[in-house]
Amino acid sequence: MIYICPQYYDMFSGDHIFDELMSIKGKVYRDQNGRKTLRFERNNQSFFIKVHTGVGWREIIKNLVQFRLPVLGAGNEWRAIRRLDELGIDTMKLVAYGSRGINPAQLQSFVITEDLGDAESLEDFCRDWPKSPPPVTLKRQLLDKVALTARQLHENGINHRDLYICHFLLNVTESARWQEGSMDPDMLKLYLIDLHRVQCRDQTPRRWKIKDVAGLYFSSMDIGLSKRDLFRFMKIYRNKSLRQTLHDDAAFWNGVNDRAMRWYVSAFERQPAIVLPEA
């Protein structure tokens, strides 16, 4: 099975296109566990492709023993991109998807997306904030977008499973224009990426909401956020006043705080600079 977006059909058509794309050459960004991510060019345009060559039975059994559904190929990311696009959440632009095989351990598949261009992860963009704080309006704009994205995901039955700030890409050119005052703040784009483990359901289970939000909190503990920033996130994510969410969602926020703290101490063997007060 091969799906190609209409505007790219001429560029990615041919009798042997599946084999060609599975073995395409380019700049490799990741190559492990039966999954390779690389950037390549065609017709003077740049694209990213994720190639899956099969996870093997050992990986499948390991996931099942841990009561986790294994990710067998690129189909999960393909469906996630389409779902986020339906919801109006900025993410990668789908170009093509292909899958071949019956054996789940040896399933071959790929997904191609447009290169997002001059983009930088939010982790890298915010790295120097403790020493060089950004304009308050810019920080709030980015924080609001992250909180709204998390809320929109969870309200629509979606959880990311790897929701860290490194998986938000900011268009650097747009950011520079925004800071110069030549651009509407609402046009600032934050693209959510790395969707291969996304889960879609009718409703998002509470434990997966906690994991996602804890991932955001854990990955932003060292970028110079204040408690006021954390409270702002809480209000936007829950769409409530601070007083309401501290009262109504105390168990949720304590769960987020506990998990993020465990991750941080395990990773860095020290306490973070900022700690969310117990709800």
List active site positions.
Answer: 162
CA distance 260 to 219: 9
Task: For the chain, give the number of residues.
Answer: 279
Amino acid sitting at position 81: I
Helix, coil or strand: residue 51 = strand
- The helix/strand/coil state of 40 is strand
Tokens of 121: 């992860």
User: Which is nearest to 5 in space by CA: 114, 164, 156?
Assistant: 114
DSSP secondary structure, 87-113, as one string: HT--BPPEEEEEEE-S-GGG-EEEEEE
Q: Spell out the residues 6+ positions from residue 251 whose beta carbon is closer than 8 angstroms to its own.
A: 279
| Amino acid symbol at 211 | K
Q: What angle do CA 268, 193, 149 make, to 5 degrees?
A: 90
The number of beta carbons lying within 10 Å of the beta carbon of residue 9 is 10
CA distance 91 to 169: 9
